[in-house]
Structure 1
Amino acid sequence: MSTPPDATTRPETAITVRYWASARAAAGVASDELPAAAPLPLATVLARAATLHAGTRLPDVLKVCSVLVGETPVGSADAEDVLVAPGETVELLPPFAGG
């Protein structure tokens, strides 16, 4: 479930994960705030997001998503090598038709 920001989870101490299209439908929320005291590998961020929504289609949807960290596309970079700092946003965009 989504964790709303509060006194213990501020943007400086959390990574925002935003879900788009079928990822949003699978998660059942538009975004999550993941507590983080230091930069985390993108692979860890994705694993934590999947764990938050265990029992849904989200873990499978995440496998096919395009990922942006801030406004930067991750592309084919290894998710273990991409660091996401507290205060940053990870955008998860599944493939979709049209556009």
Structure 2
Amino acid sequence: MATGTIRYWAAAKEAAGTPEEAADAATLADLLARIGGDPALERVLRRSSFLIDGAPAGTRDPATITLPEGFVVEVLPPFAGG
């Protein structure tokens, strides 16, 4: 199990009620299960993309993405603009 930081952006930040928080998890799937629970945040998480230490998670299965010690996971909901 690794310890790191989750950073929430845009709608994710609003749903989480904080811009970032500390977390412990072994995989991205573990992390998402730990931070889920609030229906509004879960809706945002289902639509979001994730960066792990700056690298996109893409379409990989979150259960296969191991989080390193000191990880930073960015939660990026879809947004318009440009």
TM-score using structure 1 length: 0.76
Quick check: which has more Rg, 1 or 2?
1
- C-alpha distance in 1 between matches for 2:27 and 2:40: 22
Equivalent residue number for residue 80 of structure 2: 97
**How far did residue 35 of structure 1 move?**
3.2
Q: Give the structure, 1 or 2, with the largest relative contact order (CA under 8 Å, sep 6 or more).
A: 2
Which amino acid in the other structure matches residue 79 of structure 1? P
Residue 47 (str. 1) matches residue 33 (str. 2):
yes
Equivalent residue number for residue 7 of structure 1: none
**How far did residue 46 of structure 1 move?**
0.9
**How far did residue 50 of structure 1 move?**
1.3
Which amino acid in the other structure matches residue 73 of structure 2? V
Q: Percent identity?
A: 41
- C-alpha distance in 2 between matches for 1:35 and 1:84: 9
Structure 2 alignment gaps of length 5 or more: none
Q: Which has the higher helix share?
A: 2
Among candidates 11, 19, 32, match of residue 21 of structure 2: 32
- C-alpha distance in 1 between matches for 2:24 and 2:59: 26
Runs of at least 4 residues off by over 2 Å:
none
**How far did residue 85 of structure 1 move?**
1.7
Q: When the two structures are aligned, how many residues end up with a matched partner? A: 81
- C-alpha distance in 1 between matches for 2:51 and 2:35: 15
Which amino acid in the other structure matches residue 30 of structure 1? P
- C-alpha distance in 2 between matches for 1:77 and 1:35: 20
Equivalent residue number for residue 8 of structure 1: none
Equivalent residue number for residue 55 of structure 2: 72
